[in-house]
Amino acid sequence: MKVRLNTGRALAPAEHRSRRCVIALTIALLTACGDAPSDQSLPTTSANQTVFHCGTLIDGIADEALVNQLILVDQGRIKAVISADQMGHTVESSRAGVSEEVAYIDLSDSTCLPGLINTHVHFDGNPEDSIDYSIYTRRTPAENLALILANAKTTLLTGFTTVRHVGAWFPNAVYQARDQIRAGQAIGPRILTAGPYLTIPGGGGDLTFPEVPADQIPSESQFGIASTPQQFAKRAEAAIIEGADFLKVIASGAVFSIGTDPGAPEMSREDIAAVVRVARQYDKQVTAHVHSDQSGRDAILAGVDSLEHASLLEDATIALAHQRGVAFSMDIYNGTYTDTIGRAQGYPEIFLRRNTQTTEAQRAVFRKAYAAGVTLLYGTDAAVLPHTMGGWQFATMIEHGMTPMEAIRSATSVAADHLRISADVGAVMPGRQADIIAVKTNPLTDPLPLRAVDVVIQAGIVVKQAPHVES
């Protein structure tokens, strides 16, 4: 895999003709496509125009991979995707034929894909925090922001160029990180954030600990706590006004929480419906943290757009989700991590026991949901899972029923469609942001390389490239 600019070397007569042809075609395509909409909040390519040459392209839309493709990018957006073979050019002639004014990125020995989307992350935490949750009461605002930005950068370099941040005890720090990344002041994926957890007192989203005095609990972590539909409506509207891109309700207990039970409902259907009504007024989506079947059914009937985890749902509730068009974001890999690495690190026994109770049950629900036609989104619950391991779940999704292409789409076009951001991301096609990743091995035959991608391109900028050793 080589990332190089056109060298300007002396060309043979045939190459001169090829060069003129590609220059003309590149200019014609860039001109004919017109000015693509620009996102002023995102950085653009340092060279206005770039050609990415992909040996294989999984574009996020087509049923089959495409071979020997040229992706033409201008000002960070894709202008055209064309076949180098149809142009009658070899890899070498395509390289030689690019204008010296156009950057040439050689990925001809690799498979390119759209930048990935993780629909369930928490950048304000790491797995080792589960050993002692009181760490959350001791971090300063500056430390929270630094942690979020560090995890955001790590996530981008693993190939995830867009994420959905599904709740935080310190939402202000997440807003700051999101805005800094949008402004080009920090490196990281595009962040859609729910802001605070909307939860009942003592619920799965309440940062309280018996051993920590109440006056030592940061007040910001209590922003989303409410007890009645009216209070939840006020909290929901306040979160949106403060900057939430969508909302998240904690409908049932959680695996990694103090004093709750995953199978126990917490918010009522009326509570959830109050949040949904406010969200609709502002054209925002709502997702629900759900393990219990009752909570899942209540959330669906209350009108949420998606469920997180969905571990203990019964067949009738799965069918209802499909009927109502409710998507599932199911973190079906991280139970393995918790039961191995987490156990070795000394996670609290209650967390380990709950993980055992939900992991295989959740995977069974995943298989049933897939068979029922429920929309399945790629989501890992990063923070429970290390931020370095975002790509590890693909193999597990395939193991439990998905085809490799379906698993990839769950993290590209399917996720983008659900999040209503498909005008910008989720596929390699004209008009979208040039978010592209590349791996040496075709992930349709071997998904493991998605655990450690070689190249990451965000809005046309190469932000990661694997070292290349000339042979």
pLDDT tens digits, 26-73: 544 444 444 333 332 323 334 578 999 999 999 999 999 999 999 999
Give the pLDDT confidence of 390-412 residue by residue, as tens digits: 999 999 999 999 999 999 999 99
| In a domain? residue 258 | yes
pLDDT recorded at residue 91: 47
What average pLDDT does this structure show over 109-138? 93
In a domain, 56, yes or no: yes
Are 125 and 103 part of one and the same domain?
no
Model pTM score: 0.88
28 found inside a domain: yes
Position 7 in a domain: no
Q: Which helix (H) or strand (E) holds 396?
A: helix 393-399
**pLDDT for residue 15 is more than 70:** no
pLDDT for 211: 72
- pLDDT of 160 above 60: yes
Residue 47, domain CATH: 2.30.40.10
How many other CB atoms sit within 10 Å of the CB of residue 1? 18
Strand partners, 458: 461
Tokens representing residue 276 in the block: 């949904």
Does 318 lie in the same domain as 302? yes
241 lies in some domain:
yes
- Looking at the structure, do residues 108 and 120 belong to the same domain, yes or no? no
Q: Does 384 lie in the same domain as 438?
A: no
Question: Do 172 and 276 share a domain, yes or no?
Answer: yes
Domain check: are 275 and 324 in the same one? yes
CB neighbour list of residue 308: distance below 8 Å, 6 or more residues apart: 120, 166, 248, 287, 288, 289, 290, 329, 331, 379, 381
Q: How sure is the predictor about 209, in pLDDT bands with cuts at 50, 70 and 90? A: confident
- Which of the four pLDDT bands, split at 50, 70 and 90, describes residue 92? low
pLDDT recorded at residue 398? 98
Beta-bridged to residue 467, according to DSSP, are none
**Is the domain of 197 the same as that of 168?**
yes
Residue 87's φ and ψ, nearest 5 degrees, are -75, -10
Choice between 456 and 219, residue whose per-residue pLDDT is larger: 456
Residue 16's pLDDT band (boundaries 50, 70, 90)?
very low
Domain identity same for 413 and 444: no
Q: 451: domain range?
A: 13-115+428-465
- Asked whether residue 1 is assigned to any structural domain, the reply reads no
**Rounded Cα distance, 135 and 125, in Å:** 10
Confidence (pLDDT) at 213: 81
107: pLDDT strictly greater than 60: yes
Average pLDDT over residues 229-245: 98
Residue 262 and residue 244 in one domain? yes
Q: Does 275 share its domain with 408?
A: yes
**Total residues found in the chain within this entry:** 471
Q: Is 397 left (phi over 0), alpha (psi -120 to 50) or beta?
A: alpha
For residue 192, name the pLDDT band (cuts at 50, 70, 90): very high
Confidence of residue 87 (pLDDT cuts 50, 70, 90): low
Q: Do 224 and 208 belong together in one domain?
A: yes
Q: Are residue 293 and residue 372 in the same domain, yes or no?
A: yes
Instruction: Find the CATH number of the domain harbouring 157.
Output: 3.20.20.140
Number of domains in the chain: 2
**pLDDT at site 312:** 96
Residue 469 has a pLDDT of 36
Q: Is residue 3 part of a domain?
A: no
Question: Is 5 inside a domain boundary?
Answer: no
